[in-house]
Amino acid sequence: MNQEIQLNTDNVVQALSVLYSIPHPTAKITFPSHNHSDQFLTKYQQANPASVVLPISSAIISSRLFDSPSPQKLHDPIVFFAASSIKKGVASSSLLMSTQRHINPPTTTNSFLSQLRDLILRCLSFPEETGFTPPQTQLALALSHLSIKMNWLTVVSDMINFVNASQLSALVCVNFLGVLPSIVQSELDSVHNSRDYHMTVENFAMTVLDSTSRSGGAAISSVFTAFLSVYNAPTSPNPKTKHRVLSSFATWVQSLNR
């Protein structure tokens, strides 16, 4: 039965509605049980990232978060699933840029990845009530992977500029900078990446996470200012938030010149 059901946005939402027991007018007809929905969603997450997973997950997030925005929507399990799917899709080794030198150039384009980056940044800037939410954490990880695959060498200074222009909160920037080094390191350690992509990751690490490089060195003071502004913010006195800021800053400093 599940093999006959098309992989599209509506069916994915219906399957998730059954899985998470969320009321939906037709979901139980399409997916009579949790087992049916689980099998369908497994098939969905194993589908092609560029042509299936990323477009559908992006559409789900766009409709559920931005049709009628409210902070509570960041706690929607369907939004979390879509964010996790985006992270998994972006991290996939099958999502490779057409600008890289591969035997079979993929169809993924810079335009597609740029649109995905814009959506992620929009989600990360979504107003929250209690700091960083699980979907935003997944999207921060996705943005880290995406930064490498897009060869976004000015990512740190750009994120700082977004904060200075009030397009992004300092807390979001801090959380992103806290996870970026670990993603870079995991890509450097991966034995599944092609030689060309490994060289791309090495160049990204040397440029972005090297305090002696022009890009990395210029960003250090701005990064420190961003961390400091969140830590001292009168609106964020939560000890857990302060601990997270310190932890993220320590991760960032340790990553420099590694």
One-letter amino acid identity for 200?
T
Rounded-to-integer distance, Cα 169 and Cα 182, Å: 22
What is the maximal distance between C-alpha atoms in the chain?
Answer: 60
Determine the pLDDT at residue 172: 80
Rounded-to-integer distance, Cα 167 and Cα 82, Å: 23
Do the beta carbons of residue 19 and residue 37 sit within 8 Å?
yes
Determine the pLDDT at residue 101: 37
Question: Is there a domain that residue 78 lies in?
Answer: no
- Residue 4 DSSP one-character state: G
**Which of 258, 217, 226 shows the shortest CA–CA distance to 245?**
226
- How many CB atoms within 10 Å of residue 201? 21
Determine the pLDDT at residue 105: 39
Do the beta carbons of residue 19 and residue 34 sit within 8 Å?
yes
Question: Is there a domain that residue 89 lies in?
Answer: no
Range of the domain at 241: 153-258
Question: Is there a domain that residue 165 lies in?
Answer: yes
**Which of 24, 81, 26, 32 shows the shortest CA–CA distance to 56?**
81
- Residue 166 DSSP one-character state: T
Q: Can you give the C-alpha Rg of the chain in angstroms?
A: 19
One-letter amino acid identity for 128?
E
Rounded-to-integer distance, Cα 64 and Cα 29, Å: 22
Structurally, the chain folds into a number of domains equal to: 1
Question: Is there a domain that residue 236 lies in?
Answer: yes
Question: Is there a domain that residue 246 lies in?
Answer: yes
Question: Is there a domain that residue 36 lies in?
Answer: no
CA-based end-to-end distance of the chain: 51
Instruction: Using CA atoms of 178, 179, 180, 181 in order, give the dihedral in degrees to the nearest 10.
Output: 80
Is the torsion defined by CA of 233, 235, 240, 245 positive or negative?
A: negative
Determine the pLDDT at residue 106: 42
Determine the pLDDT at residue 102: 37
Segment-wise mean pLDDT, segments of 10 residues, the chain, 258 residues: 79 96 92 94 93 94 87 90 95 64 44 88 75 85 93 85 79 82 89 83 84 53 68 62 71 65
Do the beta carbons of residue 214 and residue 208 sit within 8 Å?
no
Q: Is the pTM of this model over 0.85?
A: no
Question: Is there a domain that residue 53 lies in?
Answer: no
Question: Is there a domain that residue 61 lies in?
Answer: no
Determine the pLDDT at residue 99: 37
Structure tokens at 230: 């969140």
Determine the pLDDT at residue 159: 84
